[in-house]
Amino acid sequence: MANILSVEGAEPAAQAGLKGWFARRMQTEGGIAAFFVGPALLLMVLLNIYPILHSFYVSVHVYNLKRPHRNPFVGFENYVMFLESEDFYNALINTVIFVVVSVIAVALIGLIFSLALNELGSGVRKWAVPLILVPWAVPYVANGLIWEWIYHSDYGVLNGLLVALGVIDKYQTWLSNPDRALYTLVNAFVWKEVPLATVLFLTALQAIPEDLYSAAKVDQAGAPRRFWHITLPALKLAFLLVLVYTSIISIKTFDLVYILTEGGPGDATALVSWYTYVETFRNLQFGSGASISYVIAIATFILAIGYIKILYRPQES
């Protein structure tokens, strides 16, 4: 950033006191930046970084609300304890299945939808895009309510529809069926997250210059080759955003579990965030709960870095 044009160095400030300090600060670009970025950063530190650090402090102590005044330091005992617990491994496996299936489904469905919308004219896009965006806007609590009612084993429309179409001959259980419950959660999640993925892919698709395709046609490249060599590379950043965003959101999934299954039947839909909640607020083991969150956060972070390493190499294009 060339700064020959900057005006802030124009007046030397010789005053003392607060005014002088301010004037001196405003002479450097870093000083000005502090006034722009400072407020947001300060709030982020106070309201996010501090709780994160505090929760680390909690995670290496015993914090049991039943005995609020005895919080001995225990080092990493909380971590060892939950890493050895079978419930945690169950939750971990559920979460891995949930995340992998959800992320693949969101990316794939979003890609297909966006390709179809991109091929059809802007006339279709104009009214179709607002409509498909709607599920993205609703709270997960409402999302849960909607799908709970659709899945209802006695009066649900899913059963009604499948019976009417002759797919099944009598009403089935969905949320209370241990083999299906996790996938019913996945569906409710995918339903809400596909719209944003579709829009992100679509905006990337629309930004591809038309002459790239024309040139490829002149060179006799068939549709599959054009897709592979022009479309997919142009979608790289959109893919990165969708994968990282969906992974993070899916790992944190909590509201849906709370409304739809409460981790049940049995522990078939206990995801790590739900397990953390139970440990923290039902068993009142704050220390243990905080330690689990820490491990989840670090795992998510490594995953995000991994995506970036794979998909986002510099010197692209």
Partner 1 sequence: MAAPSVPDVKEIQRYRQAAILGRVVLYLIVAVMLFYAISPFYWMLNSSLQLEKDVVSVPPNWVPPTLNIGNYEEIILRKPADTSVAFDKSMAGYSTFPTADVLPSMWNSFVVALGVTIINVILGCLAAYGFARLYFKGKQSLFYVVLASRIVPEVSLIVPFYLMIRGLGLLDTYMGLIVAYIPISLPLAIFVLVAYFETVPQEIESAARVDGCNRFQTLWRVILPLSAPAIVTAAVFVFLTSWNEFLFPLVLTQTMNTRPITVTLLDFVSEFSVSYARMNAAGVACVIIPVALALMFQRYFVRGLTAGAVKG
Which of residues 60, 135, 246, 270 is near partner 1 by CB under 8 A?
135
Taking CB under 8 A as the criterion, which residues in 15-74 touch partner 1?
Answer: 29-30, 32-37, 39-41, 43-44, 47-52, 54-55, 58, 63
SS3 268: coil
Nearer to partner 1, 136 or 183 (CB): 136
Q: Burial-class residue 295 by CB neighbours within 10 Å (0-12, 13-18, 19+).
A: middle
Which of residues 94, 231, 261, 273 is near partner 1 by CB under 8 A?
273
Instruction: Supply the minimum distance, in Å, between the C-beta of residue 45 and partner 1.
Output: 9
Nearer to partner 1, 90 or 300 (CB): 300
Q: Which stretch binds partner 1 (CB under 8 A): 14-22, 70-78, 124-132, 225-233?
A: 124-132
Taking CB under 8 A as the criterion, which residues in 207-226 touch partner 1?
Answer: 207, 218
Which residues, listed in sequence order, are joined to residue 293 by a DSSP beta bridge?
none
Taking CB under 8 A as the criterion, which residues in 276-305 touch partner 1?
Answer: 276-277, 280, 286, 289-290, 292-294, 296-297, 300-301, 304
- Tokens 């300060």 identify what position? 42
Nearer to partner 1, 50 or 228 (CB): 50
163 part of the interface to partner 1, by CB under 8 A: yes
Which of residues 147, 181, 243, 261 is near partner 1 by CB under 8 A?
147
Q: Tell me how far CA of residue 211 lies from CA of 47, 62, 201, 217, 218, in angstroms.
A: 48, 64, 19, 9, 10
76 part of the interface to partner 1, by CB under 8 A: no
Which of residues 24, 25, 85, 171 is near partner 1 by CB under 8 A?
171
Instruction: Supply the minimum distance, in Å, between the C-beta of residue 82 and partner 1.
Output: 13
Torsion angle of C-alpha atoms 39, 42, 43, 47, degrees rounded to 10: 180
168 part of the interface to partner 1, by CB under 8 A: no
Instruction: Supply the minimum distance, in Å, between the C-beta of residue 155 and partner 1.
Output: 5
Q: Tell me, residue by residue from 230 to 259, as one string, x for binding to partner 1 by CB under 8 A and - for no binding.
A: -------xx--x------x--xx-xx--xx
Taking CB under 8 A as the criterion, which residues in 80-99 touch partner 1?
Answer: none
CA–CA distance, 37 with 128 (Å, rounded to integer): 38
Contact 287, 74 (CB under 8 A): yes
Contact 113, 132 (CB under 8 A): yes
CA–CA distance, 283 with 306 (Å, rounded to integer): 34
Q: Where are the alpha helices (DSSP H) in the chain?
A: 17-25, 29-44, 50-59, 77-83, 86-119, 122-137, 140-151, 157-164, 181-206, 210-218, 223-226, 232-234, 236-251, 255-260, 272-277, 286-311
Task: Reply yes or no: is the peptide bond before residue 233 cis, omega within 30 of 0.
Answer: no
Which of residues 20, 68, 160, 306 is near partner 1 by CB under 8 A?
160
Which of residues 23, 150, 212, 216 is near partner 1 by CB under 8 A?
150
